[in-house]
Amino acid sequence: MKYFIVTIFIVVFFIPATISAQDLRHIDEIAPFSEGFAAIRRGEQWGFINEKGDLVIPFRDDIYWDKNADTSKLDLSGIRYPMFIEGRCLISKTVEDGITVVGFIDTDGKVVIEPQFLNIYPFKDGYSTGVLFDKAYKGENEFKLKIYDLKFFDVLVDTSGHIEEYFERRHNIQMAKRRYKLPPIMAKRLVGDLVALHIEGDGWEIRKIEYK
């Protein structure tokens, strides 16, 4: 009886560590940690690292921030650094003559609320109030120019993007860049189901809302 010796060669592929290593050099700015994440800036792009130093949200150019922010303010004018609050971070895009609208991503970097707000407060207990921008196509005029109906509302929104309540319709918001000013938010959630609304010419009033 003959015996055959079979030699098995096991080929091991060594992948250099540098291939999978994250390039976290040449960082221009590092924001404070919030909810386990810190924003880091390279040029005009921001990404997010976790507390292990892993880049968990890659650098992107739609993260909202304002290097000239007044940090004493709670609305958009006070956002100096990007950060997560209740699992949401602001993103932005430009509309109407370069004017900015904002929405939100979650901690996976997924867009959960499309940019549609001219101004908004941070979420608290799952809700926020802001100024919603709505643009509806109406048709064309005699010169074949497209006509749009622009609407603005103060609203109550939850972290999924569901509009819980439409409050007063807003007027006199100019959407031309040279005239545009960040509109103040005229609805403030106080606690529970209580909301304060500012009525033009009549001060503030308190309303109780019913969640849908």
Separation of alpha carbons 148 and 151, rounded Å = 10
- What mean pLDDT do residues 118-135 have? 96
3-state secondary structure 101-142: EEEEECCCCCEEEEEEEEEECCCECCEEEEEEEEEEEEEECC
Phi and psi at residue 149, to the nearest 5°: -100, 120
Helix/strand/coil for 31: coil
Percent of the chain past pLDDT 70, that is, above it, reads 84
Q: How many CB atoms lie within 10 A of CB 49?
A: 20
pLDDT for the residue numbered 20: 37
Better-predicted residue by pLDDT, 182 or 96: 182
Q: What is the β-pairing status of strands 37-42 and 163-170? A: unpaired
pLDDT for the residue numbered 177: 87
pTM score, two decimals? 0.84
User: Is there a contact between 115 and 121 (Cβ–Cβ < 8 Å)?
Assistant: no
| 151: pLDDT strictly greater than 60 | yes
| 105: pLDDT strictly greater than 50 | yes
| 144: pLDDT strictly greater than 70 | no
* Average pLDDT along the chain: 87
Separation of alpha carbons 138 and 170, rounded Å = 19
pLDDT band at 43 (very low <50, low <70, confident <90, very high): very high
- What mean pLDDT do residues 27-47 have? 97
pLDDT for the residue numbered 77: 97
pLDDT for the residue numbered 138: 65
Of 198, 119, 210, 101, the closest CA to residue 165 belongs to 210
